Amino acid sequence: MDYPLLCIDLDKIEHNAKVMVALCAAHGIKVSGVTKVVCGHPAVAAAMLRGGVDGIADSRLENILRMRAAGLDVSYLLLRLPSLSRVDEVIDCADISLNSELQTLQALSDSARSRGKSHQVIMMIDLGDLREGVWPDLAVERSKMLMQWQGIQLKGIGANLACFGGLTPTHDNMLQLAELAAEIEQACAIRLQWISGINSSGLNLIAEGGMPERINHARIGEGILLGRETTRREAWPNTYQDAFVLQAEVVELKRKPSAFPGEHGEDAFGGHPHFDDHGDILHALVNIGRQDVAVEGITPQQPVTIIGASSDYLGLDVSALSGRIQLGDILSFDVNYAALLAAMTSVYVKKNCIRGTLFDDRIFCA
């Protein structure tokens, strides 16, 4: 087996999806499973679908095309605002898209009509997180304007919180979104299908019973994939946090000083590393580095300490494993969202999807 390797436990992802879907369903909320952090990996999307998600959401057209090519014929929601230069591709591969710009909506309308298609849109409202969306006082006017265009249909309105500005979903800001939906419905004489208020940051609000009834759609990624809500990154009850495990091979193992005297400048990434002097240590290099993963987002599963990283190597103090570790052993690491995103994007990290438990006698278990 080639390393570095990201092991993906599809059964754990399916289980987590079932937990999230059940929680949301109990409050009248449908779930789109978000696959952007896994680059639209078809096997991961399929696990989410087995877990009961209503459709798949992703931020990249390439990922949606990848899943369609794998035969996953479901409803796809494009999470990133469409680029004017790619509206034809949006119409061709996405069923629904998030939008905030009238010029883009007009272009989507023109493209849909020229292709004889109908495309659904969600008008995004900026409730203060300062990511995508129109200001609330412009939402009714903008909705009236897009209702005049053929080829596109206003499916609902939405908001994104806790991603850019860290603003937490609350009963008050979700109620603001619900009330705005009612204003749009009255002004446009329509019934909005989706009030898409939350992502994984809204799980606590749902569980506590504080979500207004009109909020009926959620876009859940990290809650399913890593079993965490995203306001404090706390583990969610009855979910797995280890559906993804990063593994790397020991390629050098030597006793070395923990610190070395001399003049020190910047490292390869402009940092100024500092090493405390603990005398000689058992020092290991494993074959993964900053070109493969966000090093700050990985946690060793063995009793070792990360002491630094370059493009290609992760440096570890493995003194606690002295006598039990050797060249060629495999060390395992838990990953957070940032590390998972980087590892999935890296072409150098192999991906291995499993159902159940992977056994490999070369994997070192402390």
30/275 Cα distance (integer angstroms) = 50
Assess whether the previous peptide bond of 4 is cis (omega < 30° from 0).
yes
The token pair at 358 is 């992977």
Rounded Cα gap, residues 194 and 217, in angstroms = 6
Check the CA dihedral 99-153-47-196 and report its sign.
positive
Rounded to 5 degrees, what are φ and ψ at 103? -60, -40
Taking each helix axis from N to C end, the angle separating 102-115 and 136-146, rounded to the nearest 10 degrees, works out to 20
C-beta separation of 204 from 233 below 8 A: no
Show the tokens assigned to 102. 């009238």
β-pairing verdict for 152-158 and 119-124: parallel
How far apart (Å, rounded) are the C-alpha atoms in residues 82 and 100? 9
Q: How far is CA 46 from CA 56, 57, 242, 246, 363, in A?
A: 9, 13, 18, 21, 28
Residue with tokens 């008050």: 172
Catalytic site positions = 36
Q: Which two tokens stand for residue 86?
A: 């790619």
CA distances from 182 to 139, 144, 193, 233 (A): 11, 13, 12, 33
Token pair of 267 as six digits: 């490292």
DSSP helix/strand/coil, 291: coil
